[in-house]
Amino acid sequence: MLPLHGKIVAITGASGGIGEATARLLAQRGAAVVLAARRSERIDAVAHDIREEGGRAATCVVDVTRAEDLQRLVATTIDRYGRIDVLVNNAGIAPISPLADFDTASWSAMIDVNLRGMLHGVAAALPVFREQGSGHLVSIVSVAGLYGASPAMAVYAATKNAVRTVHEGLRTESTDGVVRTTAISPGYTRTDLANSMTDPHIRERIRKNMDAVSIPPAAVARAVAFAIEQPDDVEIGEINVRPTAQA
């Protein structure tokens, strides 16, 4: 039997990059996946591919900045597959810039998507996990969230550090064995994340770095699968997965 047979997993930001790779890998390993993002044509195409390959996949158009969209994602998952075992909180943006640029619109956007979006997922999934007697929250954080900030990364790193802090809080509040939490921090990963960068110089620098040293999104997907595949009484708290050659 496939290792994730019977697992029901909802994934935000599944229209590309790490979220798409995660949806494809988990489905190959037997999970039923619900792909969520704003670009409906992208998630529909990926779900179609997964079904063509014999997997189980549904979609839900979600903007994670809207709390009600996460409620709808959880409800859709339960309607479709009867329960929700895992929510992968992956949607994220990185319109990074030096603080001195005062790009306050990007600061707000990163807080809304990276942090508030994650909290909306917690609010939607946690009551259901408790009702079911089990559930697993996985967040894609960043190595930028492991330390203080490097130049231009302050607000992005702050949102990612905050997500890790919320994970830690959830873990300390979940000693009844019901909710598992896993924070996965990738280094440079070959995705479209640079497209969310508004400063053209920074965007080009990050693209160059990604071209020079990066791992494929499937490497992060394997870390997600590893955490989910553990027995219910085993919690993988944190995984850092980065290119061997990344400083």
Ligand X SMILES: NC(=O)c1ccc[n+]([C@@H]2O[C@H](COP(=O)([O-])OP(=O)(O)OC[C@H]3O[C@@H](n4cnc5c(N)ncnc54)[C@H](OP(=O)(O)O)[C@@H]3O)[C@@H](O)[C@H]2O)c1
Among 140, 158, 236, 241, binds ligand X (CB under 6 A): 140
Instruction: Give the shortest CB-122-to-ligand X separation in angstroms.
Output: 15
User: Could you tell me which of 3, 2, 55 has the C-alpha nearest to residue 24?
Assistant: 55
* 97 is a contact residue toward ligand X (CB under 6 A): no
Let me know if 81 is a catalytic residue.
Answer: no
Instruction: Give the shortest CB-96-to-ligand X separation in angstroms.
Output: 10
* 91 is a contact residue toward ligand X (CB under 6 A): yes
* 191 is a contact residue toward ligand X (CB under 6 A): yes
* 31 is a contact residue toward ligand X (CB under 6 A): no
* 38 is a contact residue toward ligand X (CB under 6 A): yes
| HSE-up (13 A, CA, CB side) for residue 116 | 14
Among 10, 25, 33, 37, binds ligand X (CB under 6 A): 37
Q: 10 forms bridges with which residues in the sheet?
A: 34, 87
Among 2, 5, 6, 39, binds ligand X (CB under 6 A): 39
Which residues ranging from 108 to 127 are in contact with ligand X (CB under 6 A)?
113
- Sequence-distant (6+) residues with CB within 8 A of 91 are 12, 13, 19, 36, 37, 62, 64, 113, 117
Residue (177 or 216) nearer to ligand X, CB? 216
- Sequence-distant (6+) residues with CB within 8 A of 231 are none
11 close to 224: Cβ distance less than 8 angstroms: no
Residue (67 or 178) nearer to ligand X, CB? 67
Residue (173 or 211) nearer to ligand X, CB? 211
Among 22, 76, 90, 181, binds ligand X (CB under 6 A): 90
Q: Contact region for ligand X (CB under 6 A) — 72-80, 130-138, 175-183, 190-198?
A: 190-198
Tokens for 132?
């079911």
* 22 is a contact residue toward ligand X (CB under 6 A): no
* 59 is a contact residue toward ligand X (CB under 6 A): no
What whole-number distance in Å separates Cα of residue 225 and Cα of residue 25?
A: 8
Helices (H), the chain: 17-28, 40-52, 67-81, 104-110, 117-132, 154-172, 200-212, 217-229
Helix (H) or strand (E) holding 136: strand 135-140
- Sequence-distant (6+) residues with CB within 8 A of 247 are none
Positions that interact with ligand X (CB under 6 A): 12-13, 15-19, 37-39, 42, 62-65, 90-94, 113, 140, 142, 186, 188-189, 191-193, 196, 217
